[in-house]
Structure 1
Amino acid sequence: MTLTERADTRAWVLHPDIPNAASGRDPQLALEEAVSLGHALPGLDVVGAQVVRVRQPHPGTLFGKGKLEELHALIDAQEIELVLIDGPVTPVQQRNLEKAWGVKLLDRTGLILEIFSDRAATREGVLQVEMAALSYQRTRLVRAWTHLERQRGGLGFVGGPGETQIEADRRAIDEQLVRLRRQLSKVVRTRELHRAARAKVPFPIVALVGYTNAGKSTLFNRMTGADVMAKDMLFATLDPTMRRIELPGGGPEVILSDTVGFISDLPTELVAAFRATLEEVLAADLIVHVRDISHPESEAQARDVRTILESLGVRDTTPQIEVWNKIDKLDDETRQAVLTRAARHEHVQALSAVTGEGMSELVGVITSAMTDTTQEAHLHLRFDEGRKRAWLYERGLIEDERQTEDGFDLTVRWSLRQQAQFEQV
């Protein structure tokens, strides 16, 4: 039985506060985010949480002997069934802690994998999660369980005689990964066909990105009228959702894409696994970075998002605008200060996706940015190139036309993507 099939599993969240930790984040805020992660997994009842000071991580148990016993007493008193540790836990530490406390334990990576597994909606999303989970499990095969110590005989056909159980387990995972990659390649080919079909449509792609729970789905719903899952929980959206919309006031038609939220310390297995899920960002003509401006660590979250975008290979040339969301959560003085700061930047818009304040201004910023991404070009088409001329007219790209002796001189305004599409006509 998986975690998600069990109801009302009593969970306790621990955030190890390790001096000089690489993240440098506020331990209390990190704990709050970890609790939100726990709430995001159905069937969990997060009954408590605490920051645990760890001066020197113990290689075998993470926590020292005294803290280990103190936590054991708390876990027993609260009748805890699952402990969530907000950070990496080695296989040996996990085995020892589960044995010492008599409970199931998940580290940050394991919890995020559980959430992803529960939320993935498309076939590709499911396969990506399975691959990430298997890659994670493979790293846990470090004599973490007693049966891995046993030897297993064999006929020499597979693995040879005396193959250890850990080798057999690792090989079984590798074989399953190969099968999943084959299935994924078929799914990706199907997506490529869909993407090729979309590429024939001249509408620019506007991708919403941001830290998880920044309000992207709420903004997406307000702009499109779509009923996308928009809850106040981490990872409410895992698969890209795309809608074609026409920007008001004579603005261009665009494809708006809502994407999975980013998070600090996202496991490397998941960054790689969800690269395909975020491919719409790579193809975007405009990236809208949505920030929860009411969050105390909004700036740190923004840096995390920019780092992941860079790791995904998003080009510096792709235009970006920032949306400072959730101004409705600010007190009057802070709200006014945020509005003043935003007004100083051309590509920043402060708003509330919940109340709608600032939405019309955002549409204006997007429309302006879309206009900035187009450029004027001059073409000459022969009379026998009527198909190309019709393609340009269908998309409203021709600004001026003059007939010559052997064809047409055209002035067009298009984006680089539309230019590339035209060259395929």
Structure 2
Amino acid sequence: MPDGSATPVLLVGVDFGLPHFDGELEELGLLAQAAGLAPVARLACKRKVPDAALFVGSGKADEIRTLAQMHGAQEVLFDQALSPAQQRNLERYIGLPVNDRTLLILEIFAQRARSHEGKLQVELARLQYLSTRLVRRWSHLERQRGGIGARGGPGERQIELDRRMIDDAIKRTRERLVKVKRQRGTQRRQRERRETFNISIVGYTNAGKSTLFNALVKARAYAANQLFATLDTTTRQLYLGQDVGSVSLSDTVGFIRDLPHGLVDAFEATLQEAVDADVLLHVVDASNPGYPEQIAQVQRVLHEIGAADITQLLVFNKLDALEPGALPAALQDEYEVDGRPVDRIFVSARSGAGMAALREQLARMALAARGPMSPGAAAELPGPAD
């Protein structure tokens, strides 16, 4: 049973025959919990194509309404993106608020963003999403509006006022983000002038990226066993020995299946750390049986942001969560991603297993990228950061 503070929700997933369908709705349940909701029931069904009006059809909508009443659900969450019309029709038919995976991810991002830039990026994505939902029932829109000014009564005139207000807010937020991106560009050029070797940690959400980051640089970046524990990029200096000196290491936001396109666009500045990296540490949860699909999803986002051609090192993490002898495949030196061989290494950021080997591999990659050094140059390399 959910605690009294968490809204009970019914989870719904529709299998359209796509390879990544989560029949148990496990990831949607984790997303709901990360947003402070409490899943009380789950329903998965199959369709060839979405119903234009109700997404699932009237028969299945009846079943959803009955199941929600039976379990006391106060909201229905779909694992797929709903059109504004489908969302409005389902709410009228079922008699409960209906939301989709896209809004759920946006809500989590809104709760977790800490930096000024992160908050601006989330606000832009939320405004863009909300601008398409003005046709919805007004009481529900009022519940979701999240600080977008006071509203009057329903009607076309109010909708037009709100649309103008949201459009103005989108314009202002974009202008502020342009300034932030300009500042980040200045910082990036300063790093380039210093010829810093840049490493960015990427990977599926909850793969252990922040735990690995903390283990490498002895930092205290927030790390938790939940989806999207990290939203804001954190950069620290990583000392790799006297021959290499210090390199720049960045922890970035986690990727996820069906990441809303608005978030990919809005987080362009944050993900720029990955685009500008010399090496991507692609962290994989070795204990998750669906890790091949998660690797593929990360690759799709890297393609979208123009980072697919950057050298990668696959870091299979969470060995401590595996049964003895349960390593995924053999301990091979290479693994194919997008048809290209990629070096990989197995570690446990929590226990420290394999971390020394990871540091040695990073040092070799930094030295190889630097090329031949002039005599005495090694003596000028920076030492460990304080």
TM-score normalised by L of structure 1: 0.77
2:332 counterpart of 1:341: yes
- The within-5 A match list for 1:99-114 is 99-114=92-107
- The within-5 A match list for 1:229-378 is 229-248=222-241, 251-314=244-307, 316=309, 318-335=310-327, 338-342=329-333, 347-376=343-372
CA distance in 1, matches of 2:26, 2:161: 40
Structure 1 residue runs of 5 or longer lacking an equivalent are 1-5, 148-161, 380-388, 398-425
2:35 counterpart of 1:10: no
2:28 counterpart of 1:34: yes
Structure 1 counterpart of 2:325, which letter? E
Residues 245-293 of structure 1, C-alpha deviation per residue, up to 9 Å, x if partnerless? Answer: 2125754311211000011111111111111111111221211111112
SS of the residue aligned with 2:85? helix
Of structures 1 and 2, the one with the larger relative CO (CA 8 A, separation 6+) is 2
Structure 2 residue runs of 5 or longer lacking an equivalent are 140-154, 336-340
CA distance in 2, matches of 1:376, 1:251: 12
Call closer, same or farther: CA 1:346–1:114 in 2, change over 3 Å.
closer
Give the structure 2 partner of residue 153 of structure 1.
none
SS of the residue aligned with 2:345? strand
CA distance in 1, matches of 2:11, 2:113: 24
- Of residues 17, 20, 25, the one that matches 1:25 is 20
- Give 1:52 shift: 2.5
- The within-5 A match list for 1:192-211 is 192-211=185-204
SS of the residue aligned with 1:320? strand
SS of the residue aligned with 2:166? helix
Structure 1 counterpart of 2:98, which letter? L
CA distance in 2, matches of 1:315, 1:116: 24
Identity %: 38
CA distance in 2, matches of 1:325, 1:319: 19
Give the structure 1 partner of residue 144 of structure 2.
none
SS of the residue aligned with 2:332? helix
CA distance in 2, matches of 1:189, 1:346: 33
CA distance in 1, matches of 2:194, 2:272: 17
Deviating runs (4+, > 6 A) in structure 1?
Answer: 343-346
- Give 1:72 shift: 0.9
Call closer, same or farther: CA 1:254–1:372 in 2, change over 3 Å.
same
Measured on the aligned residues, the alpha-carbon RMSD in Å equals 2.7
- Give 1:208 shift: 0.5
SS of the residue aligned with 2:248? strand
TM-score normalised by L of structure 2: 0.85
- Give 1:394 shift: 8.1
Structure 2 counterpart of 1:321, which letter? L
